[in-house]
C-alpha cells in the first residue's frame, strides 16, 4: 500500500502538470489575440492566477522532497522540482514574448483602422454626394411621375365628362324615342279607328246604294208592270 506522502507527491505532480498545460494554452490564446486591449488584459489576469497556483504547487512539492526520509527519493524529487521551475521560467519567457507579439498586432490593427477610418470618411463623403445626386434624380423622377399622373387625371376627367355627355344624349334620345313611340301608338290607334270608320262608311254606302236600287226597281215595277 502506498504511503500517504507518496500519494500527496503524485497528486502534487499531477496538479503541476495540469497548471503547466493550462498556462501554455493561455499563452497560445495571447498569441492568437488580435485585440482589443481589454481581451489581452483579461487573458494576462488568468495567466497570473495559473502561475501563482503553479508556483504554489512547486513549492509544495519542494517541501515534500525535503521531508523525504531516503536521500535518493529526496534528490529525485528535488530534481523534478528544478525541472518544473525551469519549465515555469520558460513559460514566463514565452508569456512575455506572446504579450509583445500581441501588442504589436494590436498596434498594427489600430493603425490600419485609423487608415481605414480616413478611407471611410472619404467613402462617406463620396457616398453622401452619390446619395444627394440619387436623391435629386429621384425627386426629378417623382416630379415627372406627378406631372404624368396629373395629365392622366385630366384625361380621365375629360373622358368622364364625355361619358356624362354621351349618357345625357342617350337619355335625351331615349326620351325622344319614348315620345315618338307614344306618337306612333297614337297614330296606329287613329289608323285603326279610321279603317274601322271607313269600313262602316263603305257598309253604309253599300246599304244606301242597295236601298236606292231597290227603290228604283220598285218604281220601275209599278210603272211598267202595274198589274203585278
What is the Cα 206 distance to its own chain's centre? 101
1 has a pLDDT exceeding 50: no
- Average pLDDT of span 61-67: 92
Domain 1-115, CATH = 1.20.58.400
Residue 177's alpha-carbon distances to 166, 182, 183, 187, 193, in angstroms, are: 16, 8, 10, 15, 24
Q: What is the pLDDT of residue 130?
A: 66
Three-class SS state of 147: helix
Per-residue pLDDT of 17-62, as tens digits, reads 999 999 999 999 999 998 888 999 999 999 999 999 999 999 999 9
C-alpha cell at 50: 495559473
In eight-state DSSP terms, residue 225 is -
Per-residue pLDDT of 176-197, as tens digits, reads 667 777 777 776 777 777 677 7
Q: What is the pLDDT of residue 102?
A: 92
Q: What is the pLDDT of residue 88?
A: 96
Q: What is the pLDDT of residue 207?
A: 86
Q: What is the pLDDT of residue 13?
A: 94
The closest alpha carbon to 66, from 85, 84, 81, 88, belongs to: 81
Position 134 confidence tier, pLDDT thresholds 50, 70, 90: low
Per-residue pLDDT of 138-152, as tens digits, reads 677 667 666 766 676
In eight-state DSSP terms, residue 84 is H
What is the Cα 185 distance to its own chain's centre? 71
pTM, two decimals, is 0.49
**Which of 59-73, 118-132, 205-219 shows the highest mean pLDDT?**
59-73
The closest alpha carbon to 129, from 86, 157, 121, belongs to: 121
82 has a pLDDT exceeding 90: yes
Per-residue pLDDT of 88-127, as tens digits, reads 999 999 999 999 999 998 988 888 888 887 666 666 666 6
Can you point out the beta strands (E) in 55-148?
Answer: none
- Inter-residue contact 9 to 74 (CB < 8 Å): no
The percentage of residues in the chain with a pLDDT greater than 70, rounded to a whole number, is: 76
Per-residue pLDDT of 162-178, as tens digits, reads 666 766 776 776 676 67
Q: In angstroms, rounded to a whole number, what is the distance separating the alpha carbons of residues 203 and 70?
A: 173
Amino acid at each position: 500500500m502506498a504511503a500517504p506522502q507518496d500519494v500527496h507527491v503524485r497528486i502534487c505532480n499531477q496538479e503541476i502538470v495540469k497548471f503547466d498545460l493550462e498556462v501554455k494554452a493561455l499563452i497560445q490564446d495571447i498569441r492568437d489575440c488580435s485585440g482589443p486591449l481589454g481581451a489581452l488584459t483579461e487573458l494576462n489576469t488568468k495567466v497570473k492566477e495559473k502561475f501563482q497556483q503553479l508556483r504554489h504547487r512547486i513549492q509544495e512539492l519542494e517541501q515534500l522532497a525535503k521531508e523525504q526520509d531516503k536521500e535518493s527519493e529526496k534528490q529525485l524529487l528535488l530534481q523534478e522540482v528544478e525541472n518544473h521551475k525551469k519549465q515555469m521560467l520558460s513559460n514566463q519567457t514565452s508569456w512575455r514574448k506572446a504579450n509583445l507579439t500581441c501588442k504589436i498586432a494590436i498596434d498594427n490593427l489600430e493603425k490600419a483602422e485609423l487608415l481605414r477610418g480616413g478611407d471611410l470618411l472619404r467613402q462617406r463623403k463620396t457616398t453622401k454626394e452619390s446619395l444627394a445626386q440619387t436623391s435629386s434624380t429621384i425627386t426629378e423622377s417623382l416630379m415627372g411621375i406627378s406631372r404624368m399622373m396629373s395629365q392622366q387625371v385630366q384625361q380621365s376627367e375629360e373622358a368622364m365628362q364625355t361619358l356624362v355627355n354621351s349618357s345625357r344624349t342617350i337619355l335625351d334620345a331615349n326620351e325622344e324615342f319614348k315620345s315618338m313611340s307614344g306618337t306612333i301608338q297614337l297614330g296606329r290607334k287613329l289608323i285603326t279607328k279610321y279603317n274601322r270608320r271607313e269600313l262602316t262608311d263603305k257598309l253604309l254606302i253599300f246599304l244606301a246604294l242597295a236601298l236606292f236600287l231597290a227603290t228604283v226597281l220598285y218604281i220601275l215595277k209599278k210603272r211598267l208592270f202595274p198589274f203585278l
